[in-house]
Amino acid sequence: MTARAEGNPATVTQQIRRVLVRSIDDITIERVPAPVPGDHELLVRTKVVGVCGSDTHAAAGHHPFIGLPYRPGHEAVGVVAATGRGAGAFAPGDRVIVEPNLYCGTCAQCRSGRYNICRDLKVFGCQTPGAMTDLFTIAADRVHRVPEGMSDVEAALVEPLATPVHAVAKAGDLTGRSVAVLGAGPIGLLTLLAARHAGATRIAVTDPLEGKRKRALRLGADAALPADAPALVAQANAALSGPADVIFDCVAREQSMAQATDLVAKGGHIVVVGVGAAGTTPIRLDLIQDRELRIEGTLMYTDEDYRTAMSLIASGTVDTGEIVTATYALEDAAEAFAASTDPQHVKVLVTVDGP
């Protein structure tokens, strides 16, 4: 990790590039010394890293839990470059994907296995510097080995798929049940795939944009309905042969929650997958009480969901060509963020080819 400067006996530390987000209009590359892995850590050379909805949300200053400036990159695939002491069975050259939830391991939630809602949860690449860089360090227990035969692009979709897998698991057994997915962005589309895999028989997806509805149909939705149609409830009931047993709200705004309450069957389940705006969002408490509705939040995932996502990708369940719509070089991270805010794009990736 060190190189000798010409004519200077002192060692100089290698510089790496790292994306710095100050705002959506100010995304630059900073040059910083290469990190050195500590005990139980790996030094990883990034290969591919996804731009997440939470990244563009944060860059716009709208994410309730990511402050600016920040250094993004939590959907990361890389190769181990060096290992710290006690970094387990990893060796240089191993291909890994990051599981970015950094948890304490000792709070009540962690001890019950729900470390995704650790009392002191931090997310790698959200509250700590991430992987949109040449090299990063991470605890060895926060990465998974990429299965043999899985491409880097496929591996980059494991993390984004793990969130829908966890959300779908929240809804219990979906076998034979009807589902509405509100929003056909990356999380909505991956929720569609995860719900289908979990046994849902009828799935309707809603979105205001026709291009996104068509993509949902290509990915196997039974119906794709305009989210802003006045007759949305009637259309959804027709498509699903009645109200939906489960709603996945991947939009999480006042309008989508109102629709969720109208679209769900009495006694049904609304899972809030999208990140809501900071502050209060009005909901129909009278209907929630009267119809015995259950509203449940869902955050990230745990190891089991991550492994399920990995096996879904490995089995070819996800058509990566429909999900990955653009790829940019690290130097063009600002363009990658701009593309990611364009609703015609689904998942935008950044590739890193070394400094």
Which positions lie near Zn ion, rule CB under 5 A?
Answer: 52, 103-104, 107, 110, 118
Of 110 and 200, the one with the shorter C-beta distance to Zn ion is 110
Least distance to Zn ion from the beta carbon of 282, Å?
Answer: 27
Nearer to Zn ion, 118 or 244 (CB): 118
Question: Smaller CB distance to Zn ion: residue 163 or 237?
Answer: 163
Q: Are strands 95-98 and 101-102 parallel, antiparallel or unpaired?
A: unpaired
Query: Least separation, in Å, of the C-beta of 74 and Zn ion?
Result: 6
Nearer to Zn ion, 103 or 248 (CB): 103
Q: Which of 103, 306 has the CB closer to Zn ion?
A: 103
* Smallest separation (angstroms) from Zn ion to the CB of 154: 16
Between CA 100 and CA 268 the distance in angstroms is 32
How many C-beta atoms surround the C-beta of residue 68 within 10 A?
15
Question: Residue 35 or residue 53: which is nearer to Zn ion going by CB?
Answer: 53
Of 37 and 183, nearer to Zn ion (C-beta) is 183
To Zn ion, the closest distance from the beta carbon of 120 in angstroms equals 6
Nearer to Zn ion, 104 or 150 (CB): 104
Q: Closest separation between CB of residue 114 and Zn ion, Å? A: 9
CA angle 325, 329, 334 (to 5 degrees): 80
Secondary structure, 3-state, the chain: CEEECCCCCCEEECEEEEEEEEECCEEEEEEEECCCCCCCEEEEEEEEEEECHHHHHHHCCCCCCCCCCECCCCEEEEEEEEECCCCCCCCCCCEEEECCEECCCCCHHHHCCCHHHCCCCEEECCCECCCCECEEEEEHHHEEECCCCCCHHHHHCHHHHHHHHHHHHHCCCCCCCEEEEECCCHHHHHHHHHHHHCCCCEEEEEECCHHHHHHHHHCCCCEEEECCCCCHHHHHHHHHCCCEEEEEECCCCHHHHHHHHHHEEEEEEEEECCCCCCCCCCCCHHHHHHCCCEEEECCCCCHHHHHHHHHHHHCCCCCHHHHEEEEEEHHHHHHHHHHHHCCCCCEEEEECCCC
User: How near is the Cβ of 257 to Zn ion at its closest, in Å?
Assistant: 22
CB of 102 to Zn ion, least distance (A): 10
Shortest spacing between CB 340 and Zn ion, in angstroms = 11
User: Least CB distance from residue 348 to Zn ion, whole Å?
Assistant: 12
Q: For residue 121, what are the CA distances in angstroms to 22, 53, 80, 95? A: 23, 19, 25, 26
CB nearer to Zn ion: give 32 or 139: 139
